[in-house]
Amino acid sequence: MYRLLILFSLLSSCQIESDESLVTINVPDVYVRMDDKKLELKDSVYYYQGEKFSGHLNQSSSEKNKLDYRYKNGVQAGLQQGWHVNGNLSFSYSCVDGKRQGEYKEYYPNGELQIHREYHKGSVVKNKIIDANGVVIAHYIIKDGRTFGLLGSSSCISLNPTDKI
């Protein structure tokens, strides 16, 4: 019981130092579809017409989720977002020089929070995962190379009511 009390106080009182929750980086108002033949990916860097790409890569159609990825000098920079087919936000996170920085949030199609992470220079420093019933199945922090908290539990629920388990 004593260990559980210490673990709970550790998780509830830990404040992760992050530069910003969402990093603001301006990218040009250039919009290119992800399936554009002039877009090339070489060594994790996007090029458009032979130049490192700066602008928005997006995908949007009635059958697919809408995505808006922002790039500066060929790598992800600033706010990255996607939406479910129903129009609800699917995910939101920021990047600096191609690495995630600050808050990462992912949502179920109904708008409920599914994953909440915090990144520092591309590495996860805090993670919380919630199943479709609102039950926390993982909640931990990583500090000085050590992990503290609930690392995970299985949840045998289906997001599709017609699935049989």
| 79 domain-assigned | yes
Q: Is residue 164 part of a domain?
A: no
Instruction: Tell me whether residue 155 is in a domain.
Output: no
89-96/136-143 β-pairing: unpaired
Q: Is residue 90 part of a domain?
A: yes
Count of domains forming the chain? 1
Amino acid at 132: A
Residue 3 in any domain: the answer is no
Q: Which two tokens stand for residue 130?
A: 């919630």
Domain assignment present for residue 157? The answer is no
Per-residue pLDDT of the chain (165 residues; tens, 9 = 90+): 444 333 344 444 444 344 445 567 888 889 999 999 999 999 999 999 999 999 999 986 655 679 999 999 999 999 999 999 999 999 999 999 999 999 999 999 999 999 999 999 999 999 999 999 999 999 999 999 999 998 876 555 555 555 544
Q: Which residue has the tokens 């190379």?
A: 145
Domain span holding position 15 = 8-150
pTM: predicted TM-score of the whole model, two decimal places? 0.76
